[in-house]
A and B are shown apart, each in its own frame.
Chain A
Amino acid sequence: MEPSEGKGSTEGVQKPTPASATRPEPVEVSKEETVAEKPAKTAEVKTEKAQPTPRPKRKPSDIDVEKKVENTKEDMPVVEKITVGHVHLSGCTGCLVSFADNYEGLFKILDDYADLVYALTLVDVRHIPEMDVALVEGSVCLQDKSSVEEIKEAREKAKIVVALGGCAAYGNITRFCRGGQWNQPQMESYVPINELIDVDLYIPGCAPTPQQIRNVCIMAYLLLKGTDEQKELAGAYLKPLMDLAQRGDEACGCDLMYDVINQGLCMGCGSCAAACPVRAVSMEYGKPNIDRDLCIKCGACYAQCPRSFFNFDVMNEFEGISELIKGVME
């Protein structure tokens, strides 16, 4: 659709497709004194005219950030936290839920290691701020102007951009969209964020696991704020996930054939079958067999395969690293 120039009535129509149905409305911050509030729910899309409401002079984001600093807990370690944001594009919020599924671990991360400075679902900040790490969930809809703007802005504002989950990294199920859905039938082109911006790190999977997100958060913290030794470990840990971001933005169970079996590398462990969220991989005589109709293109199987990457420098330290992760989460 043609994005409307005005901030008034048509603004509300420009809203999410089913693929991004749970995505909260991004509210554009405008310099104008009065701006139409977008209807909060898609149900209200048919409203003839949104009610113009007076805006406060200060952006809500400014207020919120200040408040956060005041609220910093006293028993927090003296070290600085990193700032993390969750950028929600065309995804189902499953990635964010997965992050939250660290339960008390999430609070630990937010108390001691990371300030959540942006997350439309959880934080009352309406405009992408500067941040250390942007966790981007969902693919970009090319017909949704605000999504395109948002991903570009995330790249400008974040030191590290992480494609969180299959949709951001590989398109995942949004790859199958052909448009025609209500209430935005013209929205039909969904691309992994890598097609529009440079991405630093991939966390594949649908949904990505709470533990993998936790590990990346901890390692990102150590990389930015740790001792020299911790920086080195974190760098080594994150490298294969950074390499995945360079490898490309198309994923399929077929990768097990192209990049493992066809390369003479498969040893029949079955990690791929365990990793697949839709049971598209079964083991037949010790080798993966892919039901290609079932595959949703999340990239978990290949990334989990010990023969996609296996960094001995990190793996040999598995006991120490597992204890370190356990320790920082306590």
Chain B
Amino acid sequence: MVLGNYKSVVAARSTDNEILKGAQDGGIVTQLFAYALEEGIIDGAIVAGPSDEPWKPEPVIATSKAELLAARGTRYTLSPNISLLKEATRSYGLDRIGIVGTPCQMQAVRKAQLYPIGMRDVPDKIALAIGIFCMENFPYQGLEAMVEDHCNVKLESVKKLDIGKGKFWAYTERGAVAQIPLKVTHKYEQPGCHVCLDYVSNLADVSTGSVGAPDGWSTVFVRTNAGEDAWSKAIGAGCFETKPIEEVKPGLDLVKKLATDKITKNQKTLEARATFGVGKGLRNPYI
């Protein structure tokens, strides 16, 4: 099933304006972590924090709302959040870890739990894994080329980057908007994304993305018992306003379509890799 197992799916957004201001979509990730932190569901969360290069994320362990706020918004380049997973239990002494990541990073979290080969004491300490939807990602220098060479905007002056409606968008601090068609960005995609068989973070506790929901809102899948527990408490505490997914446009059909497109395309890539050379192929990690 292209959308994975889930208990419920809704359109939602945070009720906290401070969070919404700098969030990518409905502020789901930042809001849910902020609530979980406050309630002691997690002791801290591994998020994509700022670094000294513009739009280059640096994984950090956020243990305060301020640190969560500083990590809001999507950076379309690699943030190796899993690199801190063991460290979070050690230097930071977290017993209940929150972590956000792309679908491949959610896969990494589950592998760390089921096959903790180099992940001592990690398996029992994952309290809330929030997955984001993901079609592809870019190396930093690729993002730089897309923004500076193609959009003709300096990375330093960018306020928000977004992918939507078939385009890549760059919004500057001063209000300029640049956009390029996604077919221009394809060549900068990270090769590892072309064998990726998950669009909506099937292995997360809660997963979220913009697709399916109206602007400023998010689509949210609640998948596991841990996810349901945190999500229902947060709803009870008034953290989110929600709408049934059936009542919003474009709705779940678009999510399903994009997930199917991605998986079908990447399955083909895997098949092509199997016969890449002459009587020789490239490795398939799934068999």
Q: Which residues of A contact B87 (CB under 8 A)?
A: 274
Contact yes or no, A237 B86, CB < 8 A = no
Size class of B's contact patch? 35 or more
Known: A270-B59, A285-B140. A275 touches B107 (CB 8 A): no
Interface string of B193-223 (1 = CB under 8 A from A): 1111100001100000000000000000000
Identify which of A65-73, A113-121, A170-178, A316-324 touches chain B.
A316-324
Q: Is the CB of B80 within 8 A of A269?
A: yes
B237 beta carbon closer than 8 Å to chain A: no
Q: Are B203 and A316 in contact (CB under 8 A)?
A: yes
Nearest residue (CB) in A for B80 is A270
A310 to B140, CA, bound (A): 26
Of chain B, the residue at the smallest CB distance from A303 is B117
Binds A, one of B35-43, B156-164, B249-257, B279-287: B279-287
In the complex, chain A residues whose CB is within 8 Å of the CB of B123: 211, 322
In the bound assembly, the distance between CA atoms of A24 and B6 in angstroms comes to 53
A322–B114 CB distance below 8 A: yes
**How far apart are the CA atoms of A316 and B225 in the complex, in Å?**
15
- A300 located at the interface, meaning its Cβ lies under 8 Å from any Cβ of chain B in the complex: yes
Shortest B12–chain A CB gap in Å is 22
B83 part of interface (Cβ distance < 8 Å): yes
B69 within 8 A of partner (CB): no
Interfacial chain A residues near B59, Cβ < 8 Å: 270
A212 close to B115 (CB less than 8 A):
yes
A275-B86, A312-B286 given; A267·B139 CB < 8 A: no
Shortest Cβ gap from A263 to chain B (Å):
5
Kindly list chain A residues whose C-beta atoms are within 8 Å of the C-beta of B77.
286
* Contact B137–A276 (Cβ < 8 Å): no
Question: A303 to B118, Cβ gap below 8 A?
Answer: yes
Alpha-carbon distance between A204 and B117 when the two chains are bound, in angstroms: 6
25 residue pairs of the A-B complex, CB under 8 angstroms, read: A205-B117, A210-B120, A212-B116, A212-B117, A215-B115, A264-B194, A264-B195, A265-B191, A265-B192, A265-B195, A267-B190, A269-B82, A269-B104, A270-B84, A274-B86, A283-B80, A286-B80, A304-B112, A304-B117, A307-B192, A309-B285, A310-B286, A315-B107, A316-B203, A318-B114
